[in-house]
Amino acid sequence: MPKIIFVRHGQAQFGQANYDKLSEVGHEQSVALGTALLEQGVTIDRWVRGDMVRHDETLRGISHGMRMQITDQIVTPDLNEYDFTGLLDARFAGSKAPTGLHTDRKTHFRLLRETLAHWQNDEIATPPESWATFEARLERAQQTIFELEGDTILVVSSGGAISKIVANALGASHAKQVDLQLQIKNASMSTFIYSRRTGGLFLNAFNETPFVSVKTQHLLTYS
């Protein structure tokens, strides 16, 4: 049965005009994860990622750390993150947005948790995409991955997308999906085993960061 390793992108540019690129720490995390996989003797048969810049940069960093060429790469927007900036803006459309909505981490994530619950219940009038659309494209992404040949498939995506796939595998509620999302670390791995015979997807490990140690605590980030 193939192993599917989902990796959240490295730290991006929170609070900046362009979030969609890695910070210096994000680049370091990506290479460090690749090095950790190399030391574990992992080899990758297929590479998959969303089409965001931070996904591309993370995948390149991992391959560099693994000393592997990226071959047989599949790029699909189905693995992209939902537009959390647009979603928050949609929630507060027509009213004064709270101070620090997009720049203060504490404020941002408190309001994002609330906003995600509203989104899941179709309580936001004009979101960038509906919750049902988000769910549907992740189902397509899963099917794309399941159809691939190879013993080990590495997938780079984002926290919201990965947490939804984890929740699907666990049969978890919408609320638990949000709990999962908000604890996923940058450049962390969530590993699944997939049965081609039964179509079963089984969570084997969640949110692992093998590159973080006492000496590399600066590589432990969540946003």
pLDDT at 220: 98
Cα distance between residue 103 and residue 109, in whole Å: 10
Torsion, CA 98, CA 135, CA 157, CA 185, rounded to 10: 50
Q: Which CATH superfamily is domain 3-81+151-219 in?
A: Phosphoglycerate mutase-like (3.40.50.1240)
**β-bridge partners, 192:** 4, 203
Cα separation, 103 vs 178, in Å, equals 20
26 membership: H or E segment, kind and range? helix 24-39
**What CA–CA distance (Å, rounded) separates 217 from 105?**
20
* Torsion-angle region of 100 (φ positive above 0: left; ψ -120 to 50: alpha; else: beta): left
Report the pLDDT value the prediction gives residue 125, as an integer from 0 to 100: 93
Q: Which two tokens stand for residue 58?
A: 């993370």
Question: Of 135, 137, 111, which is closest to residue 122 (Cα–Cα)?
Answer: 135
**Region 202-211 average pLDDT:** 98
Tokens 């085993």 locate to: 193
* pLDDT at residue 12, as a whole number: 95
197, 213 contact by CB (below 8 A): no
The overall pTM is greater than 0.85? yes
Amino acid code (one letter) for 201: L
pLDDT tens track for 85-134: 999 999 999 888 899 999 999 999 999 999 999 999 999 999 999 999 99
